[in-house]
Structure 1
Amino acid sequence: MKLGIAALQWMIFMIAAAIVAPIAIADLYQLSAVETAGFMQRTIFVLGVAGLLQGLLGHRLPIHEGPAGLWWSVFTIYAGFIGVLYTSNIAALQALSGGLLVSGVFFIILAASGFIGVLAKLFTPTVTFVYLMLLVLQLSGSFIKGMFGISADHPTMDPWMALLSAIVIIATFTFGRSKAMWVRQYSVIFSLILGWGLFLVAGKAPSVSSAHTWFDVPKLFAFGAPTFDSGVITTAIFITLLLITNLVASVRLMEGIVAKDEPSDPKRYRRGGLISGVNQLFGGGFSAIGSVPISGAAGFVTQTGQKSIKPFLIGCVLVIGITLFPPIMNVMSALPAPVGYAVTFVIFTNMVIMALKELKKITVGEENAYLVIGISLMVGVGVMFLSPSATQGLPAAVIAVLNNGLIVGSIFAIILEQFFLFREKEPKRG
C-alpha cells in the first residue's frame, strides 16, 4: 500500500512537471489539437522510459527525466526559422528529430570515451553551489508567473489563482514538516490533491478534454522521416556537451542524498551518459522533446524523505502506462498549472538549502572560491536578463546558450575555478 502511494506520488509529480513544455512547443509550431495531444503523449512516454532505463541500467538513482531546457530553447529558436530555413512547421520538427538522433550518438561516444567522468571531477562544492543557485534563480520567475496565473494568453495577474497557490504552498510546507512520518513521505501527493480540489471548487481548474480513442500506442517518426543539415548537427553536438553538465549535477546531488555515506561511484556517470544517449535517440525516434535528468528530483526526495528507488521505478512504469490510455492522460493533463508550480516552488526551496550546505564544504582557497561564485552569479543572472531579441542573427547553438544563464554561469564557474587552481600550482612547479 505504502509503495503504491509513493509510486503514484512520483507519477503525478513527473507528469505535472512535464506537461508545460510539449503544450508550449506545440503552440509555437501551430499543431492541431490532435497533433498536440500526440506530441504530449510521446514526450511523456519517452520521459517515463528514460527514467526507467536510468533507474535500472544507468545511474540507478531516483532522478526523474524531464524536457531539457536547452532542447526547449532550441525548439523555440527553430520555430522562428519556419518559412526562412524550413518550408513548414513539420519540416522544422523533422530537422529537430534528426538533431536529437545526432545528440544521442554523440552522447554515447562521449560516455564511452570517459569524458563524462572527467567532467564530474570539475563539479566541486564551489561549482555545485553556483549551479544550484542559478537553477533556482532561473526558475523562480516561471514559478511566480505560473502561480499568479500569468501566461502569454493572460498577461495580467489573477488574484484568486495567487491566493489559492499561496494556500497550496503553505500546505506543502506544513505537510513536509509534519511530525507524522507518513504525512511527510506523501506530502507532495497530498498537496497536489488539495490544490486540485481547491481549484475545482473555485472554478479555476481546466476542463478535461475528450479523447478520440481509449487506447493509443505512441508513433515512431510521427512527423515523418528525420532530416539532417549542418546547422542542426552543429547545434545538437554543442547542446549535448551542455546537457552533460545537467546530468553530472543531477547525479552528484542525488548521490549526496541517497548515498552520502558511500564513496562516489565513477562508473555511475559513464552508465548515466550511455543511457542518456539512448534516451536522446528515443526522443528523436518518437518525435518528442529531448530529456535530461532533473536536478529538482533532489528537492523532491528531500521534501518527502523517500530515498528508495523502488517507488520511483514503479512511478516510471505508471507514467508509461497511462500514456497508452488517452482518457487517463487527459485527466492528468487537467491538473491546474498553478498547483504544479506551487508544489514545485516548495521543492526548489530545498535546493537553496542544499546550495548553502555545499558552501559550507569550501575549506581551501575560500577567497578565490567566493570570487568565482561572485563573478559566476553576476554573469549567469545577467544573462537571464538579456532580451531574446539581443541574440538575433547568431547561430542557433549560441542563441540557445546565451538564453540560458544557468549554463553560462556554471561554465564560467568551472573555467574560473580551474584557472585559480592552475595559478596556485604554478609556483610549485617552479
Structure 2
Amino acid sequence: MNPLSKTTQLLAGLQWLFFMFANTVVIPLTIGDAFDLSSIEVASALQRSFIFTGAACILQAVFGHRYPLMEGQSGLWWGAILSLSASASAAGISVSELGGGLAVGIILSGILLTILGALGIGNVLRRLFTPVVMSTVFFLLASQLIIIFTKGMLGLTTSDEIHIPTAGLSIFLIVLTVWLNIKGPKAIRNFSILIGIVTGWIIYVLFFPAEAADEHVTTKLFNPFPWGKPTFSLGLIIMAVLTGLVNTTNTIASVKGVEPLLRTTTTDKQYRKSFVLTGLNSVVSGIFGMVPYAPYVSSLGFLQSTLIFERLPMIIGAAMFMILGLVPSLSHLFSTLPISVGDAVLFVAYLQLFSGALNNLEGIRFSQKTIYRIAAPVLLGMAIMNIPAEMFGSIPMLVRPLISSGLLMGIILSVVLENTINWSKLEQVKSPKKENARNIG
C-alpha cells in the first residue's frame, strides 16, 4: 500500500473531522434539553464533547486497539439516558436527582469496565460474537441509524411533516455521494463524504434562509456534575452497570468488523487496552456530564466509503476536533452546519454496513430450520425499533432501556441462539435425491 501524501492525509483528516462532528453535535443538545440545562451548560457540554471525543479517538488509535475507529458517545447509552429522563416525572423524581444518580452509576460502571477489561473480558465476548451475531449487529445498527438519518434529512427533526426543500437537497446529496462512490475516480471517491458535506453546506447557505444565530456565551468547560448533585441510587447504579456491560458489544463489533478491512487479527493485549480506555472515558463522562463512550461500529461504513484505512488521517481529524472544542468561535461556526446535510451524506456511508452484514453470512447455509438463527434476532430487533418509546411505560424503569432497545434485544437473542443451539447439526439436511432413492427402495 502506497503511503498517502501530506495533502491527502490532511484532506482525509478534514473528512474525519466532519464525520466526528456530524455524529457528535446532536447528542449534547438533546441531553441538555432532557436535563433542562441552561444555554451556558449546553454550550459547555458541546465543547467538552468535541475535546474529549478527539482525545478519546487519539488515545484508542495510539494506545488502545490501534485502529482507525471513532471513539464517541455511545448511541446505546444515549438512548438509555433519554429514555430514563423522559420517564423521570412518572417515577416521582426530578431530572436533577436522576442526573446525579446516573452520574454516579456511570462512574461506577466505567470503573467496573476498566477492571474487567484489564482482566480480559474481551476474550469471553469475542468467543460469543460469531459471524451470525456480527451480521445481526450490522443489520440492526444499519436499520436503526438509517431511520434516524432519514428523519433528519427529511426535516422531521424540527417539524411534524416532511420539509420539501430540505428533502430535495438531501436526495440530491445522496445521488451525488453515491455517484462519486461508484463512478468517481479513486482520488475523488476517497473524499466523497467530504465533498458531499461541503457541497450541501454551501447550497444550504445560498438557497435556504438563515436562522438567527445564537449569541456567544461564556462557557464553563470543566464544570463537574452539570446534570445534578451526585446521589446514590441502587436502581440507577444497577441499570448503569448493566448498560455499561451491554455497551461492550460496540467494542467487539467494531474491532472484529475492521479486521477484514485491514487484513489483521486483534490481539488480547489490544482488546484489554481498548476496554480499559473505554472504561476510563466513561468515568470522565460521568464526572463532566457526557454520554459514556464506545468505538463506533458506523466507522466501518465510513472506511468502506472512503477506502482510506490508515490511522494518521483519523488522528489528524481528532486533533482538529479537539481544537474545534477549544476555540469557541470555531465551535460556533461548525454548529451552523445543517443537520440534514450531515444526515444525508452519512446515510450513504452507513449503507456500507450492509456489506459487512452480508460478508459475515458468506458460506453459511440456511434451511427451513436454520433460518431462525438470523431471521428471529433481526426481525425482533426491527419490530421493537418501530414501537413508540412511550409504549414501554409499563416496563419497570430498571430494565426499560434494555427491553425498549431493538438493537440490544436482537443482539442478545442472537448470542443466545448461537451459543445454545448446534446449528451445524441442523444444517446437515439430506439431499432430495437421496431421500427419494430411500423411499423407492
Answer whether TM exceeds 0.5 for this pair: yes
Partner of 1:110: 116
After TM superposition, the structure 1 = structure 2 runs for residues 392-407 of structure 1, keeping only pairs within 5 Å, are: 392-407=393-408
Which of these two proteins has the greater Rg computed from alpha carbons?
2
RMSD over aligned Cα, in angstroms?
A: 2.2
Aligned match of 2:273 in 253, 271, 274? 271
Write the distance in 2 (CA, Å) between the matches of 1:422 and 1:346. Answer: 34
Aligned match of 1:147 in 153, 165, 168? 153
After TM superposition, the structure 1 = structure 2 runs for residues 227-238 of structure 1, keeping only pairs within 5 Å, are: 227-238=231-242
Partner of 1:164: 169
5+ residue gaps, structure 1: 426-430
Write the distance in 2 (CA, Å) between the matches of 1:31 and 1:224. Answer: 10
1:64 is displaced (CA, Å) by 0.6
Q: Are the equivalent residues in 2 in contact too, given 1:216–1:324 (CA < 8 A)?
A: no
After TM superposition, the structure 1 = structure 2 runs for residues 39-188 of structure 1, keeping only pairs within 5 Å, are: 39-80=45-86, 82-83=88-89, 88-151=94-157, 153-188=158-193
Instruction: Say if 2:6 is the partner of 1:5.
Output: no
Cα distance change, pair 395–205 in 1 and its aligned pair in 2 (3 A): farther
Deviates more, 1:281-290 or 1:82-91: 82-91
Aligned match of 1:311 in 301, 313, 335? 313
Aligned match of 2:41 in 25, 35, 49? 35
5+ residue gaps, structure 2: 1-6, 427-441
Write the distance in 1 (CA, Å) between the matches of 2:54 and 2:203. Answer: 28
1:35 is displaced (CA, Å) by 1.8
Amino acid at match of 1:89: V
Q: Are the equivalent residues in 1 in contact too, given 2:304–2:352 (CA < 8 A)?
A: yes
1:65 is displaced (CA, Å) by 2.1
Q: Are the equivalent residues in 2 in contact too, given 1:216–1:325 (CA < 8 A)?
A: no
Partner of 1:193: 198
Partner of 2:348: 346
1:402 is displaced (CA, Å) by 1.8
Partner of 1:428: none
Partner of 1:282: 284
Write the distance in 2 (CA, Å) between the matches of 1:95 and 1:283. Answer: 13
1:418 is displaced (CA, Å) by 1.1
Q: Are the equivalent residues in 2 in contact too, given 1:67–1:291 (CA < 8 A)?
A: yes
Write the distance in 1 (CA, Å) between the matches of 2:90 and 2:375. Answer: 41
Write the distance in 2 (CA, Å) between the matches of 1:46 and 1:23. Answer: 16
1:85 is displaced (CA, Å) by 5.8
1:127 is displaced (CA, Å) by 1.0
For 1:36-59, what per-residue CA distance to the aligned partner results, in whole angstroms no more than 9, with x for missing partners? 111222223222222121111111
Instruction: Say if 2:253 is the partner of 1:249.
Output: yes
Partner of 1:419: 420
1:367 is displaced (CA, Å) by 6.4
For 1:282-332, what per-residue CA distance to the aligned partner results, in whole angstroms no more than 9, with x for missing partners? 111221111221111011111111100011112111111211111110111
Task: For residue 155 of structure 2, give the secondary structure of its aligned residue in structure 1.
Answer: coil
Q: Are the equivalent residues in 1 in contact too, given 2:173–2:344 (CA < 8 A)?
A: yes
Amino acid at match of 2:245: L
Q: Are the equivalent residues in 2 in contact too, given 1:218–1:324 (CA < 8 A)?
A: no
Q: Are the equivalent residues in 2 in contact too, given 1:125–1:361 (CA < 8 A)?
A: no
Aligned match of 2:336 in 327, 334, 337? 334
TM-score normalised according to structure 2 size:
0.89
Aligned match of 2:223 in 214, 219, 225? 219
Cα distance change, pair 397–82 in 1 and its aligned pair in 2 (3 A): closer
Write the distance in 2 (CA, Å) between the matches of 1:368 and 1:270. Answer: 38
Deviates more, 1:99-108 or 1:198-207: 198-207
Q: Are the equivalent residues in 2 in contact too, given 1:362–1:369 (CA < 8 A)?
A: no
State the identity %: 29
Deviates more, 1:114-123 or 1:224-233: 224-233
Write the distance in 2 (CA, Å) between the matches of 1:82 and 1:396. Answer: 9
Write the distance in 1 (CA, Å) between the matches of 2:201 and 2:211. Answer: 10
Write the distance in 2 (CA, Å) between the matches of 1:382 and 1:232. Answer: 27
Write the distance in 1 (CA, Å) between the matches of 2:228 and 2:35. Answer: 15
Write the distance in 2 (CA, Å) between the matches of 1:131 and 1:233. Answer: 26
